[in-house]
Amino acid sequence: MSTHYFIAIPIESTELVDVQQTILPYYSYRRIYRPEEFHMTIQFLGSVDGDELDEVKEITRRICEETLPFTLEFRAIDHFGRPDRPRVLTIVPDASEPLQRLAHSLRHELVDVIPRLDRKSFVPHVTLAKKWGEGERVPYVPPEFHATESVEELILYEVQPTHTPAYRAVDVFPLRRPEEDIWQSRLKFLT
């Protein structure tokens, strides 16, 4: 079995855990994501060899160095699949130009290096649960919520399907620090 990889934004918002716990009783899923597994996939890589993985890291590092941190806001629950038995339960962010720009730049360059990569449209979401179990969804009124997530890095994950958690961070790519943060760091050393 070959090792698969993906590049994602880690999601650490505790509000999303609360939303997940509130809505799960209305669904029937076999795979519930743990809070430490929450992420927003930017690009699934699948199986890549060592040279390709090195190129992926180089491209990701460069694009992250060109991208300022930004914030995502979440207010909506969504799903993939049939409304009565959705195969994937998600939380989606509000529209975000910085997110779209980052995803487009990264995906565009990665496809040039690894042409066999998945070229499906980028649909930003955080998976809460998947693999429908038995029964049908119980009707409910989705809770109102407003969660935020500061995006300051991308992570290259390795998929480990037989482990818990199922994803292992292989490399971290910080986004470019704003000039004022750099100057404040330098000022600490000068005083």
Helices (H) and strands (E) in the chain, counts: 4, 9
Q: Which of 79, 104, 108, 125 is catalytic?
A: 125
pLDDT score of 1: 63
Q: Where are the domains of the chain?
A: 4-190
Give pLDDT tens digits for 120-136. 899 999 999 999 998 88
Using 50, 70 and 90 to split pLDDT, how confident is the model at 110? very high
Give pLDDT tens digits for 53-63. 999 999 999 99
Active site residue 39: yes
Q: Which of 39, 79, 108, 163 is catalytic?
A: 39
Query: 50-65 and 97-113 are packed helices; what angle lies between their axes, rounded to 10 degrees?
Result: 150
Active site residue 104: no
Judged against a pLDDT cut of 80, whether residue 189 lies above it is answered with no
Judged against a pLDDT cut of 60, whether residue 181 lies above it is answered with no
Q: Which of 80, 74, 72, 95 is nearest to 20 (CA)?
A: 74
Q: Which CATH class is domain 4-190?
A: alpha beta
pLDDT score of 118: 80
Report the alpha-carbon distance of residue 79 to residue 97 in Å, rounded: 22
Judged against a pLDDT cut of 80, whether residue 183 lies above it is answered with no
Report the alpha-carbon distance of residue 160 to residue 153 in Å, rounded: 21
Classify residue 119 by its DSSP letter.
Answer: -
Give pLDDT tens digits for 7-61. 999 999 999 999 999 999 999 999 999 999 999 999 999 999 889 999 999 999 9
Give me the mean pLDDT over the 150-172 stretch.
94
